A and B are shown apart, each in its own frame.
Chain A
Amino acid sequence: MSVTTSSQALAPAERAVQLLGGDLSEVALRRHLEGLPTVDAVGLEARAAKFGTRSIKTTSKAAALDLVIRMIDLTTLQGSDTRGKVRSLVAKALVPDASDPSTPRPAAVCVYGDMVGNAVAALGSAWSAGKDDGINVAAVATAFPSGRASITVKLQDTRDAVAAGADEIDMVIDRGAFLEGNYGKVFDEIVQTKDACRRDDGTYAHLKVILETGELVTYDNVRRASWLSILAGGDFIKTSTGKVQPAATLPVTTLMLQVVRDWERLTGERIGVKPAGGISTSKDAIKYLIAVAETCGEAWLDPHLFRFGASSLLNDVLLQRQKLTTGRYSGPDYVTID
């Protein structure tokens, strides 16, 4: 079976054809993915655990905490989300810590597609609207979190979110197709979703591809799915929806960082990584920064290339930040709930 691609998204497909030696058939794709270096689970987990033994203090810690805030996609993804809830989330993004105006802002707010308009309105002039400064609006799409819908629905979901102003689209891959070994289908859907990210003016919303690593289970699967997503044109690879356990783990994120490092070595292109779900403490977040720095290098310590998908992480970072300034730990009532 050959992989069909829509004409607008020829760039990643063409590149994939090149990498696969001129043959983008299902067989060639499979051979390519199965030819990637394998992963030894024990070794990967030992490496990840070692990142946790670094001791980040004083000036390093202060820099790390601010960086973590700038990398956060402040997220609410509940069935019960309302306009008021989104407004409240946006307000928190705008002023994370009223007691310290020097506190940086998170990279984006991440909401369901139907809430994009509300988020954009609430952000007002702080909305980046595709520019480098300001706060982005990220929308989950493609029948998030299960991805169980027709491709027509998934693409329309994406187009609606982009039309409403989403700067970033967090799509889910079809884990069923991946586990069936139907790599071509997964590839094709990513290519089509990327195409659906195209705006009228020819620019594209940033595409983050959620692998849902908790459902892929093995590290070899995670490596193949990561590589496949990048091959198909994903700008970011993201661990989880946050709806499945285990969500982001340090070993899985380390592996994905190794993949984007290898991709850069091969093509010169830099792809982003976003662990999401379950990272709620500064201590954990800093371990991820160490993994980034020691796997990909410091160039990746940038919100364009690394993000945290989180909701409760921000407040813990703010408490740690206050502690660095005042020398004392304050309580949970010294940061706001949203």
Chain B
Amino acid sequence: MTFLEYAPAPESTSILSLRDDYSLFIGGEWVAGGGERFASISPSTEQQIATFSSADEGDVDAAVRAARTAFRETWGPMSGRDRGKYLFRIARILQERARELAVAESLDNGKPIRETRDADVPLVAQWFFHCAGWADKLDWVGLGANPQPHGVAAQVIPWNFPLLMLSWKVAPALAAGNTVVLKPAETTPLTAMLFAEICEQAGLPAGVVNLVTGAGETGAALVRHPDVDKVAFTGSTAVGREIAKALAGTEKKLTLELGGKGANIVFDDAPLDQAIEGIVDGIFFNQGQVCCAGSRLLVQESIHDEVMDRLKERMSTLRVGDPLDKNTDVGAINSSEQLERITRLVATGIAEGGEAWSPACELPKEGYWFVPTVVTGVEASSTIAREEIFGPVLSVLTFRTPDEAIAKANNSPYGLSAGVWTDKGSRALAVADKLRAGVVWTNTFNKFDPTSPFGGYKESGYGREGGRQGMQAYLKAGK
């Protein structure tokens, strides 16, 4: 064995005490759902982790009613200061149980423990701490004195960052005084169940947080429920469009955080070694299953070959495999459907003239795997330069001038994120200013912070999460 192979360093799962079956969490009680039960499997082994309840319309109605009651009787009338105390308590428990949550998240989602341990779970705690601080300071959120919560928030989150997306939704909603009914994704409900246990541990009043598991129908029933005041959705553009249609003409407030096809622009004066790292972080973080991934690399033509050589060399050091091994950089794809989609889109990219390259690497026999791939020779009109792949696949395009870079970066139905790599500050600012994307990172990529608003332009959705703007999404202007 060579040194670089590193001996296996698997994280122990003995810290977990999971149940075999999970129910719905409604009004502070665990209740069986009316729908069919379903199982969540570990994407890296295809082994079943636990079974979960599907919430039918009746269960969704019960959850919304529980949230309404809690809003009216306990959470709504409570002072911001007291709400803050609960949120701080939850944040501290999240930190105390960080390792357990990291292991559970890695197991259920397939993402490497390095990422759940060093990125997801610490950010989740940060989000609760940040929002907890807002709970008694809502007068300063920018909506005038004494802004009011909407009431019951219906929240539907995706499978790529199950716990992090939960925190982005639940923390600001509760801080603002709303109560919530949240539906986690069908393939990754596990950490939401652990979060329900944390709510119990924190003594959160019954009904403030309600969790309904299930597939798309459960989510549809939730967002359509007539007694919901606010809907927040993160997921695909197609589903987002359906929700927007369903809510049109109602009083319900809506924020959508949808797909993306982020442009990562590398100028010839970029700090090259760091740009390579940024490209890698931009597209291979969480196996590329990131809506703001830098999936379209726009590299200045004069340095294209050098950047590709360096990138391929760097990709050869990425370690793909068991997500629970502490040395794994790239884990499993979340589901067989997603793997199929990635495979199909890459085949299309090659058929349209792109040239795919992947490092030599042995994949586990079981589970869903896709080797990190870079596709060069992609043109603006290629399918894989337009469509979101949501996998570890980088499409590489070139440009010659800053104007061309900006034009190509903006030439997308999406507008969630972009990156600019240059050593010249004036250029970084000038280019960032012209990019139509909700987040523009300079000389870095995929950095998240609870104080920074996140959201999209165009088909990437509307509304912002994080920062003051994220709090505003859960409040009505004060009088």
Contact = CB atoms under 8 A, between A and B. Distances in A.
Interface string B275-306: 00110000000000000000000000000000
Interface in B290-333: 309, 317, 326-327
Contact of B3 (A43, A44, A255, A293): A293
Contact of A53 (B114, B272, B423): B114
Contacts of B1: 59-60
B326 A55 contact: yes
Interface of A is mostly: helix
Contacts of B7: 56-61
A56 B2 CA distance: 12
B444 A44 contact: no
Contacts of B309: 265
A54 interface: yes
A63 interface: yes
A47 B269 CA distance: 20
Contacts of B9: 55-57
Given A60-B6, A67-B3, A43 B118 contact: no
Interface residues of A, number: 29
B273 interface: yes
B307 to A, nearest CB: 11
A64 B327 contact: no
Contacts of A40: 271, 274, 423, 443
A42 interface: yes
Contacts of A63: 3
A54 B270 CA distance: 28
B4 interface: yes
Interface string B1-30: 111111111000000000000000000000
A37 interface: yes
A280 interface: no
A56 B6 contact: yes
A289 B3 CA distance: 9
Interface in B409-467: 423, 443-444
Nearest to A35: B269
Given A38-B271, A38-B423, A294-B317, A43 B278 contact: yes
A57 B11 CA distance: 12
B141 to A, nearest CB: 30
Nearest to A62: B7
A294 B4 CA distance: 8
B6 A54 contact: yes
A289 to B, nearest CB: 7
Contacts of B8: 57
A56 B9 CA distance: 7
A1 interface: no
Given A58-B7, A67-B3, A293-B3, A43 B327 contact: no
A227 to B, nearest CB: 14
Contact of A43 (B5, B114, B274, B326): B274
B443 A298 contact: no
A39 interface: yes
Contact of B274 (A47, A54, A265, A289): A47
A42 B443 contact: yes
Given A56-B7, A63-B3, 15 more contacts: A38-B269, A39-B271, A40-B423, A44-B274, A46-B277, A54-B6, A54-B327, A55-B6, A55-B9, A56-B9, A60-B3, A60-B7, A67-B3, A258-B273, A294-B317
10 contacts: A37-B271, A42-B274, A43-B278, A43-B443, A43-B444, A44-B274, A54-B326, A55-B326, A56-B9, A60-B5
Interface of B: 1-9, 114, 118, 269-274, 277-278, 309, 317, 326-327, 423, 443-444
